[in-house]
Amino acid sequence: MSNTVKLLAALVAGVVLLIAVSGRRGAPRPEPAATPAAVPEPVQTRQTLGKKTQNVLELSQALEQGGVRAEMSITSQGLEVASDAYRTSVGKLAGMAVQQKMAMFQAENDRKPKDYREFMERIIEPGGPDGLMLPMLPYYQEYAYDPEAHELVVVEFPAKKEQRRKETTGPAGL
């Protein structure tokens, strides 16, 4: 090695050593924040492919919790098109299954379910032998029942989506 390279390596090693030693001794530590900001619980993701659910929220409660009706068309570009197609297709297929069971309910009772409770008991039938098993949606989406329109809708929670983005990419979005 040339003398210049050896000198440069020794200089870098000296600077690193100086920084390490000075950092250990009397370097003032930053004061902790007076009141730490409330840190939200990490968003719990879930497996979706091949998974089923019977969880259906009441639409009014979902909207109060910050949910918005999900866009049920493919709007993404690039690599996100496949996941967008999956999300929209399973939401539409679940809606079709509910419509079919609602049509049978209406044919038998000459009316549609009167409220969310009856919808859950007679259409979704959680735990029942004829219960509807809906395809699982991503962690930031849930099914909800609209009692006025008598239909199943998909509700998206943008805050969950944004929080997860920050958890995985950092505050700068990198």
> Is the distance from CB of 134 to CB of 97 less than 8 angstroms?
yes
Whether 36 shows a pLDDT value over 60: the answer reads no
Listed by start position, the domains of the chain span 52-169
| Residue 87 binned pLDDT confidence (cut-offs 50, 70, 90) | confident
Q: Give the pLDDT of residue 11.
A: 47
The enclosing H or E element of 68 equals strand 68-69
Mean of pLDDT values over 37-46: 71
Q: Is 69 helix (H, G, I), strand (E, B) or coil?
A: strand
The enclosing H or E element of 52 equals strand 52-53
Q: Give the pLDDT of residue 37.
A: 57
Q: Give the pLDDT of residue 96.
A: 93
pTM of the model: 0.69
CB atoms within 10 A of CB 128: 11
Whether 118 shows a pLDDT value over 90: the answer reads yes
| Average pLDDT of the residues of the chain | 80
Whether 44 shows a pLDDT value over 90: the answer reads no
User: What is the token pair recorded at 87?
Assistant: 């999300």
Q: Give the pLDDT of residue 72.
A: 77
